[in-house]
Amino acid sequence: MQGNNLENITQNAEKEVNSSDAPTIVKTDIGAIDGQNKCPKCGSTEISLNIKNGKLKCEFCHHEFEPEHVTGLESDISRLEGQVIASGASDIIASTDDVVTIKCSSCGAEVVIDTSESTQGRCHWCRNVLSINNQIPNGAVPDVVLPFKITKDDAKKMIEEFVGKRQFFAHPKFKEEFTTENIMGVYFPYMVVDINSHAKLIGRGEHLIRRYTVKNGDNYDTYYDAEVFAVEREFDLSITGLTIESNSDRLDNNSHDKTNNIINSIMPFDIENCVKYDSNYIKGYTSEKRDANVSELKGLVGAQAKDIARFAANDTLEYYDRGVRWDSEHLAIKGEQWQAAYLPVWLYSYQQVKGDKSIIHYVAVNARTKETMGSIPIHIPKLITVSAVIEFMSFLLMLSVDWDYSFLFLALGFIYFWIMYQRYRNNDARHSYEIETQREIRDLVKSDRFVERRNRLSNSTMIGANNTRITDSSLATKVAKNISQRTEGENNDNE
Ligand SMILES: [Zn+2]
Ligand SMILES: [Zn+2]
């Protein structure tokens, strides 16, 4: 067993050296047809998603199509080697023309489709639907799509319920203007990444032995005795379906003018049910185009993978109830596989204008799982008034209570303000990818060596513990800025 591990590690080292190798591109649009996609039963081009079962359906004869799946990608993540990129996730080529002209095979007319808006168009003469299903290097055609499953009516209910629970402090103008009539079904672009990796973490962990109080003058102080261990964890880790926004505008979760974090927070999606891209899935919905390349997202994905590894290790660290401080963390990525995907979201958006600034609030529903999150504009004067009343009552309470710490009551008004603000705006909502991403540990090697006992510690948790830390969200903002700078530069070059 030990011999095998050593062998693996040597192999990994070799692979890391070879990491400059060009990625393997897996072509995923094999057999895709641009132009008329006809129903095999009746020849109609009117084909759209049947939301009830996720299949495509002919609108004339009701023939249903079995979903197609992408082939050629590795399904056993533990066998992934090097960098594999599905062709729909290939680099965007700046000079690519978004506008594609297709000759209608029925009447010979030339039909112009602007792929930055849609991958379908209707022939003006014979009314047939023409689709683009072959990938073009502009980010408009992904490898896979996850079809809508939640109906518009169900999404409306979820959004109304969410907003209904947040009425008291909602801005009066918002209350007046709120309607779910104009909610939109949107396919947002994401990269879905599978990772085969090997993790090694080295550090110190603390286990609580005793907690006690000692009289110190008039006060009692709390102290802790703890055992310190040298901790090591080494394991193989498969990460399946790590999902990341691939449009720079959405990737920026700290954006000041739109509440992107709301859309981020309704992940995860059941991406294992993705099907091969077909423009007919998009019919009746809108979609956003990808503008990010694999190389631009790689650093962010690597950082998130490291977070996932750290949290995977936490499952083996329950004994260290005071925390673990990793002094060295290493995640070697042996193989990774990237796919471009469209994932379905029902979206309500509301623009709030404040002076010369404006902010777009979203209420978003995951159109697979119904998970709902939102940001509601707050009537700030009302929230301040109520918080001030609470603050005043707390002040009276403080005067009437005989307790050393009665000054703590003075925090109540501020706590109330903060809790209500979070409840309406949810500005810290986000996808907890470090816990919610599918992962599997294999060949775990544990080492826990007693170092010393430390007594009379005044901190309730270990100083410097970092085992529940995650990558700062400002990294995503930085990556998003770099991408939008590139695309702006390219646009200027084209002009
Ligand atoms: Zn038909
Ligand atoms: Zn035609």
> pLDDT tens digits, the chain, 495 residues: what are they?
344 444 444 444 444 444 457 899 999 999 898 999 999 999 999 999 999 999 999 999 999 999 999 999 999 999 999 999 999 999 999 888 888 999 999 999 999 999 888 899 999 999 999 999 999 888 899 999 999 999 999 999 999 999 999 999 999 999 999 999 989 999 999 999 999 999 999 999 999 999 999 998 888 999 999 999 999 999 999 999 999 999 999 999 988 899 999 999 999 999 999 999 999 999 999 999 999 999 999 999 999 999 999 999 999 999 999 999 999 999 999 999 999 999 999 999 999 998 889 999 999 999 999 999 999 999 999 999 999 999 999 889 888 888 877 888 888 999 999 999 999 999 999 999 999 999 999 999 999 999 999 999 999 999 999 999 999 999 999 999 999 999 888 877 665
339 Cα to the center of ligand 2, angstroms:
34
Q: Which ligand is nearest to the CA of 36?
A: 2
100 Cα to the center of ligand 2, angstroms:
16
- Residue 332 included in any domain: yes
62 Cα to the center of ligand 1, angstroms:
6
Q: Which two tokens stand for residue 377?
A: 């504009």
Q: Which ligand is nearest to the CA of 44?
A: 1
Residues 6+ apart with CB under 8 A from 298: none
101 Cα to the center of ligand 2, angstroms:
13
pLDDT of residue 494: 60
Question: What is the rounded CA–CA span in Å between residue 139 and residue 55?
Answer: 24
155 Cα to the center of ligand 2, angstroms:
36
- Residue 367 included in any domain: yes
128 Cα to the center of ligand 2, angstroms:
6
9 Cα to the center of ligand 1, angstroms:
56
87 Cα to the center of ligand 2, angstroms:
30
Q: Are 85 and 23 in contact (CB under 8 A)?
A: yes
Q: Which ligand is nearest to the CA of 122?
A: 2
The count of domains in the chain is: 1
The H or E element spanning position 248 is helix 248-251
465 Cα to the center of ligand 1, angstroms:
62
Question: What is the rounded CA–CA span in Å between residue 400 and residue 333?
Answer: 62
43 Cα to the center of ligand 2, angstroms:
14
Peptide linkage before 268 cis (omega within 30 of 0): yes
- Residue 119 included in any domain: no
Q: Which ligand is nearest to the CA of 56?
A: 1
- Residue 487 included in any domain: yes
Residue 177: which domain range?
150-375+426-494
102 Cα to the center of ligand 2, angstroms:
10
104 Cα to the center of ligand 2, angstroms:
5
Q: Which ligand is nearest to the CA of 109?
A: 2
Query: Strand pairing of 55-58 and 47-50?
Result: antiparallel
Q: Which residues surround ligand 2, an ion (CB under 5 A)?
A: 104, 106-107, 109, 123, 125-126
Q: Which ligand is nearest to the CA of 45?
A: 1
- Residue 85 included in any domain: no
Q: Which ligand is nearest to the CA of 130?
A: 2
Q: Which ligand is nearest to the CA of 65?
A: 1
Q: Which ligand is nearest to the CA of 102?
A: 2
Question: What is the rounded CA–CA span in Å between residue 432 and residue 265?
Answer: 8
184 Cα to the center of ligand 2, angstroms:
29
126 Cα to the center of ligand 1, angstroms:
17
Q: Which two tokens stand for residue 437?
A: 């991403």
- Residue 57 included in any domain: no
pTM (2 decimals)? 0.90
pLDDT of residue 3: 41
37 Cα to the center of ligand 2, angstroms:
13
Peptide linkage before 142 cis (omega within 30 of 0): no
Q: Which ligand is nearest to the CA of 124?
A: 2
- Residue 159 included in any domain: yes
36 Cα to the center of ligand 2, angstroms:
9
Q: Are 455 and 209 in contact (CB under 8 A)?
A: no
- Residue 96 included in any domain: no
348, amino acid identity: Y
Q: Which ligand is nearest to the CA of 126?
A: 2
